[in-house]
């Protein structure tokens, strides 16, 4: 086993061996820094909002939380 296994962003296809890559909290797929952002997600059990790493694919399906004017 190598210490750095390659990973690829599922959004843009970027491949890297730098670090381990980070997974989206919703679809559990790996994405690069550019395609992950912290978004407030409602905790299903307790109903409060938590900041989670969400990929840009999943973020499109989230309700707006005050942010408006997304880029085309
Ligand atoms: Zn990417
Ligand atoms: Zn996702």
Note the pLDDT tens digit of each residue in 22-61.
999 999 999 999 999 999 998 989 999 999 999 999 999 8
**Domain boundaries of the chain, sorted by first residue:** 7-59
Distance 41 CA to ligand 2 centre (A): 12
HEC sequence for 31-48: ECHHHEEEEEEECCCCCC
Distance 10 CA to ligand 1 centre (A): 7
Indicate the pTM of the whole model: 0.75
Considering every ligand atom, which ligand is closest to the CA of 31? 1
Distance 3 CA to ligand 2 centre (A): 25
* Cα separation, 40 vs 47, whole angstroms: 12
């Amino acid at each position: 086993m190598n210490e750095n296994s390659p990973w690829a962003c599922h959004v843009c296809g970027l491949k890297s061996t730098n670090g381990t890559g980070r997974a989206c909290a919703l679809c559990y797929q790996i994405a690069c820094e550019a395609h992950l952002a912290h978004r407030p997600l409602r905790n299903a059990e307790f109903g409060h909002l938590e900041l989670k790493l969400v990929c840009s694919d999943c973020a499109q399906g989230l309700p707006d939380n005050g942010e408006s004017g997304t880029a085309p």
